[in-house]
Structures are given as structure tokens and as C-alpha cells.
Amino acid sequence: MTIPPTLRESAVLVPVFRDAAGEANLVLVHRSSYGVHGGQLAFPGGKRESADASLLATALRETEEEIGLPRAAIDVLAALPPVYTRSSGFHIAPFLARISPPPTWHYQPTEIAEVLQVPLSHLADPANAGQESWQLPGWPAPELVDFGRVGPHYLWGATYRIVHALLPRLLAGEWEL
């Protein structure tokens, strides 16, 4: 696929795993206040660098840099449909991966404020979803925004769209987690 020249290439890893109780979890990061997406929930990932052989290489490199998860702990299951950000101009290539999480996350504090392990059951619960009218910088007018709640955080935008499309497939058991 050719990416429009106005969009910047980026990639994210969508890490999933089963916890000790057997419940499927998704790993999200709460970004530090630094940068365009500061303070938001996201997947580990970022902009493609010239040394990256592919967008998958970008996702794997960024995941190790941001949350310390080495390639050996990652089993890539599928390339997911790309998503785009409207206001920040990113083309995001998401890659679903089954992971072996570490006992303790060692993340890059300048980029990541917190690593969250979120049960799929929480994300699927309608009580944790909502829609509100938001007016964000750069938006010409308020818009209705769909979101999920994860503790005190809002899951919205491109990350929400990835989760929203993927969740039914994960819950249906399309991949062995």
C-alpha cells in the first residue's frame, strides 16, 4: 500500500497475553506529557526511522525502547488494518502480538508514564464505554468522540479504533492467546 505523502509512517505493537488466572489482557501505555500524543493511552510504537527495514521492525524497535520488551518475548500474530490520525498526520501500522510480559515493566520514563495491563473483559464491558462532545486544539468545531475508560484515563482516537475493531475478534478466539 502506498502511503499518502502528507502522512508520516509509524507502527505500533498490540501486545496481548494471558495472566496467571488465564484472563486475556491487552498492554497499553500511558504516554508521558511529552510530545504530540502526550498524556494519552496508546500502544508501544512510534515513527519509522530510516534504519527500520519495515514497519514491523519499527514496532518491535519502539516496543523494546519504550517498555523494555525484547523481541524474544514477542510472537507476532498478524498485521492489522492500518489507521490514520487526523490531527497529527500519522499512518499507523498495528501488529498484533502474543507476548510474555516481564515480572516488572522497565519503561522509558521520558516517553511513558505507566504501563497498563487491561483485561479484555474490562474493555468489552459497555459500562466502560462512552461518547461525548469534545473540542480539541486544531479541531474547527466540537465533535462526538467515542472512548473507553481505563481507570482515570480515556482510551480514544486511533488506539480506540484499533481496540474497537480488534476486540470482537480476540473475544471470538481468532488467535491463540
Q: State the pLDDT confidence band at 71, using cuts at 50, 70 and 90.
A: very high
Q: HSE on the CB side for 48, CA within 13 Å? A: 18
Return the pLDDT at 54: 98
Whether the predicted pLDDT of 2 surpasses 70: no
For residue 149, pLDDT over 80 is answered with: yes
Q: Mean pLDDT for the chain?
A: 92
Task: Answer yes or no: is 55 within a domain.
Answer: yes
**CATH, residue 36:** 3.90.79.10
Residue with cell 518491535: 60
Q: What value does the mean pLDDT take over residues 143-162?
A: 94
Q: Considering the domain boundaries, does residue 144 fall inside one? A: yes
d(CA 130, CA 150): 12
Q: Is 68 a member of any domain? A: yes
- How far is Cα 165 from Cα 170, in angstroms, rounded to an integer? 10
In a domain, 30, yes or no: yes
Task: Determine how many CB atoms are found less than 10 A away from the CB of residue 126.
Answer: 7
- Of the candidates 36, 39, 49, which has an alpha carbon nearest to the alpha carbon of residue 10? 49
Alpha carbon of 62 to those of 18, 66, 112, 170: distances in Å? 22, 6, 12, 24
Q: What is the rounded CA–CA span in Å between residue 120 and residue 70?
A: 23
Read off the pLDDT band of 88 (50, 70, 90). Answer: confident
Residues 41, 160: Cα–Cα separation, whole Å: 9
**Which is nearest to 8 in space by CA: 95, 112, 84?**
84
**Domain for residue 176, yes or no?**
no
Domain assignment present for 22: yes
Write down the number of H helices and E strands in the chain: 3, 11
For residue 99, what are the β-bridge partners? 74
Q: Which domain holds residue 78?
A: 8-171
CB 67 within 8 A of CB 115: yes
Nearest CA among 13, 17, 124 for reference residue 78: 13
Q: Which residue has the cell 502511503?
A: 3
* Residue 177 is assigned to a structural domain of this protein: no
pTM for this structure?
A: 0.91
Task: Give the residue with greater pLDDT, 1 vs 52.
Answer: 52
Number of domains in the chain: 1
d(CA 41, CA 89): 18
Q: Give the pLDDT band (50/70/90) at residue 42.
A: very high
**162 falls within a domain:** yes
What confidence category does residue 89 fall into, taking pLDDT thresholds of 50, 70 and 90? confident
